[in-house]
């Protein structure tokens, strides 16, 4: 089973909030497929990979045990871990320090859980071994009515379209942190956290408008059209992603070359492009690139494998294109990644006007003097989410 990145995240979100979490083989298969997709996309983020590895370990454990023998805290830990993964994915500003601290907290929970399971229930063998014990205070149970009220409010927040999903996962993370620190999750504490999240979502600007601007009465805010404005002249190159022709800044293109059909399948399956494959007989690597990669040594470049990235947006394919004929390596600062496309423009044009219009990784429409126009792909945002971070 192969899932796209969007399908994987939606699957994880569904598992976080579902009440009747039965450990069925089909459900575990979907989770495994989601984890595989996410690991391929975040090969350069050690914290994310480590958290995913712990979640995979729990799934492996669940596959080996009868459903009636699974302790509730195992399911709780898996849901908390999944919530952290979704939160890290949706946080547009990658913060290695925050991710590292989050990993430490999750690992503490993981080792504590292993310690509990190591003793096992009476008459049952130990399930896991290793891990340092940690003191955890008992969490008082809430009555069914209280739980149902909280879940109703969570569903209300999740159904809103103003950024509440991200904030909801922040709430879940705060709950997990409180549990890991040994604090008592009383009804009052949970209501306080939930009220804070509800207040934050009220302050999120509606889609299509900036904070402080009045809403457009009787209109779908997503349909508000921005004016076409002059912009600094910018050289752009066109490429075809799926069936959509987009443009990217020429300065972001580190390398573009036809994609060898014999290699394409392996790149798509692994989700990455080993730069060593680009080296030819008596042909160095650094000299083939433009920008930051050109400043690295060949021996460093040969060790790198860049992620095959998938731009998000309505109309764009959800998976890398299996009919791609070109590979385009893009860079912004110390972040790098590969795009697979069906065509690549050999000549640049100069964008002189721009019209804002957010659609995933598409930030708007680019216009040039000859009358041409195409969606503008925000390479910086795409690389921030999926790119490889090099340290030179």
| pLDDT band (50, 70, 90) for residue 71 | confident
The closest alpha carbon to 291, from 250, 233, 327, belongs to 250
Tell me what the mean pLDDT of segment 46-53 comes to. 89
- Collect all residues with Cβ–Cβ distance below 8 Å to 313 and sequence separation of at least 6: 359, 360, 361, 362, 375
Average pLDDT, integer, range 288-309: 89
| Residue 195 burial class via C-beta count within 10 angstroms: exposed 0-12, middle 13-18, buried 19 and up | exposed
Question: Which is higher by pLDDT, 344 or 151?
Answer: 344
Q: Which residues pair with 389 in a beta bridge?
A: 335
> What average pLDDT does range 78-84 have in this prediction?
87
**Interstrand relation of 326-332 and 253-258 (parallel, antiparallel or unpaired):** antiparallel
Phi, psi of 373 (to 5 degrees): -155, 140
Q: Which range is least confidently modeled, 100-114, 221-235, 328-342, 346-360?
A: 221-235
The predicted structure's pLDDT at residue 249: 95
| Average pLDDT taken over every residue of the chain | 75
Contacts within 8 Å (CB) and 24+ apart, 281-289: 288/255, 289/254, 289/255, 289/329
Q: Does residue 82 register a pLDDT over 80?
A: yes
Residue 260 CA: distances (Å) to CA of 148, 257, 327? 56, 9, 9
Spatial separation of the C-alpha atoms in residues 208 and 356, rounded to whole Å: 10
- Mean per-residue pLDDT for 246-266? 91
Confidence check: pLDDT of 343 > 50: yes
In this prediction, residue 21 carries a pLDDT of 61
| Confidence band, pLDDT 50/70/90 cuts, at residue 87 | confident
d(CA 210, CA 363): 15
Distance CA 288, CA 278 (A): 9
pLDDT for 149 equals 55
CA distance 96 to 47: 8
| pLDDT reported for residue 359 | 86
Distance CA 206, CA 221 (A): 8
Question: Average pLDDT of 176-197?
Answer: 57
Top pLDDT among 54 and 145 is at: 54
DSSP string for 272-297: EEEGGGG-BTTB-SGGG--GGGGGS-
Distances (CA, A) of 161 to 146, 157, 164, 167, 324: 26, 9, 7, 12, 34
Cα distance between residue 70 and residue 250, in whole Å: 54
Tell which residue, 15, 50, 56, 59, has the closest CA to residue 36: 56
| pLDDT, position 179 | 52
Residue 192 is predicted with a pLDDT of: 65
Spatial contact of 117 and 77, defined as CB atoms under 8 Å apart: no
Phi-psi sector, 285: left (phi>0), alpha (psi -120 to 50), beta: alpha
Q: How confident is the model at residue 329 (pLDDT cuts 50, 70, 90)?
A: very high
Percent of the chain residues topping a pLDDT of 90: 20
Range scoring the smallest mean pLDDT among 12-16, 56-60, 301-305, 352-356: 12-16
State the pLDDT at residue 194.
64
**Residue percentage of the chain with pLDDT more than 70:** 69
State how far the Cα of 59 lies from the Cα of 158, in Å rounded to an integer.
26
With 0.75 as the threshold, say if the pTM is over it: no
CA dist., res. 100 & res. 127, Å (int): 27
Runs of H (alpha helix) within 72-221: 72-90, 96-119, 144-158, 164-180, 187-202
d(CA 40, CA 55): 15
């Amino acid at each position: 089973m192969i899932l796209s990145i969007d399908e994987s995240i939606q699957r994880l979100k569904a598992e976080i909030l579902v009440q009747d979490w039965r450990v069925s083989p089909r459900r575990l298969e979907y989770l495994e497929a989601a984890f595989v997709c996410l690991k391929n996309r975040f090969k350069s983020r050690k914290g994310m990979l480590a958290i995913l590895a712990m979640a995979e370990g729990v799934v492996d454990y669940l596959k080996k045990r009868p459903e009636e023998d699974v302790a509730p805290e195992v399911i709780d830990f898996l849901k908390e871990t999944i919530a952290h993964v979704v939160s890290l994915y949706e946080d547009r500003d990658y913060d290695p320090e925050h991710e590292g601290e989050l990993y430490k907290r999750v690992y503490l929970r993981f080792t504590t859980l292993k310690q509990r399971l190591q003793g096992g229930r009476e008459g049952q063998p130990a399930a896991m071994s290793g891990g340092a014990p940690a003191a955890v205070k008992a969490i008082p149970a809430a009555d069914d009515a209280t739980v149902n009220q909280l879940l109703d409010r969570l569903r209300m927040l999740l159904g809103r379209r103003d950024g509440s999903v991200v904030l909801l996962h922040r709430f879940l993370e705060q709950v997990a942190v409180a549990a890991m620190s040994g604090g008592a999750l009383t009804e009052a504490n949970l209501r306080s956290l939930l009220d804070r999240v509800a207040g934050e979502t009220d302050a999120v600007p509606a889609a299509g408008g900036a904070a402080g601007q009045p809403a457009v009465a009787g209109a779908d805010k997503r349909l508000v059209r921005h004016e076409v404005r002059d912009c600094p002249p910018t050289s752009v190159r066109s490429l075809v992603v799926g069936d959509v022709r987009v443009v990217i800044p020429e300065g972001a293109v580190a390398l573009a070359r036809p994609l060898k059909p014999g290699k394409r399948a392996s790149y798509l399956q692994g989700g990455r492009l080993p730069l060593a494959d680009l080296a030819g007989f008596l042909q160095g690597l650094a000299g083939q690139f433009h920008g930051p990669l050109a400043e690295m040594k060949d021996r460093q470049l040969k060790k790198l494998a860049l992620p095959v990235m998938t731009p998000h947006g309505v109309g764009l394919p959800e998976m890398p294109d299996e009919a791609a004929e070109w590979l385009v390596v893009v860079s912004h600062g110390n972040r790098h990644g590969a795009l697979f496309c069906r065509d690549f423009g050999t000549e640049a044009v100069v964008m002189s006007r721009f019209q804002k219009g957010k659609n995933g990784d598409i930030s708007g429409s680019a216009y040039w003097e000859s009358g041409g126009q195409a969606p503008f792909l925000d390479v910086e945002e795409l690389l921030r989410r999926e790119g490889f971070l090099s340290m030179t």
